[in-house]
Amino acid sequence: MFDKYIVCEDTLKITDQTRTRGSVEVRMPYYRGLGLSMVEGVDLTINGIPVPVEATSFTVHGNTYPMVDLPTVLDDRWEMGEQARIDFGVTEPMEPGELVVSAAVRLRISYMPVPGGGRDTKTFTLA
């Protein structure tokens, strides 16, 4: 329902000098907030190459979690429309120019018999 708003415009940043670490902000495609234990993951793809989940972390309102730990977090939430920051690492440097970022948000919604969530792709221009 909010898939087109998942990857937030103008939020991609390179965060180290080797250009192999970066961050991007994402929103949850859902009309309410959700406990983090029901966020099964945010799968990132950079220029078509999947980023290993172990190389990503998830930050909301100042609290950072390894992505793989989200299913065990019972006392924090991803609020409706809140921009979460995903920090990630890649093996090849992210060179200046266009960079295509895809994010698939996987949610466990209790009243739905099928997996919830959505995906979005946006193109950024790196300096």
Where along the sequence are the contacts to another protein (CB under 8 A)?
1-2, 4-5, 27, 31-35, 37-38, 40, 71-72, 74, 77, 79-82, 108-111
Q: How far is residue 113's CA from residue 119's CA, in Å, rounded to a whole number? A: 19
Is residue 20 within 8 A of residue 37, CB to CB? The reply is no
Q: By C-beta, is 77 or 99 nearer to another protein?
A: 77
Specify the residue, 46 or 120, whose C-beta has the smaller distance to another protein. 120
Least Cβ distance, residue 53 to another protein (angstroms): 15
Please state the closest distance from residue 20 (CB atom) to another protein, in A.
31
For another protein, the closer CB: 112 or 127: 112
Shortest Å, Cβ 1 to another protein: 4
Q: What is the DSSP string of 11-79?
A: --EE-STTS-EEEEEE--SSSS-EEGGGEEEEEEEETTEEPPGGGEEEEETTEEEEGGGGGG--S-EE-
Whole-angstrom distance, CA of residue 13 vs CA of residue 7: 13
Residue 14 beta carbon to another protein: minimum distance, rounded to whole angstroms: 26
Residue 58 is encoded by which pair of tokens? 């998830």
Cβ proximity to another protein: between 80 and 100 the closer is: 80
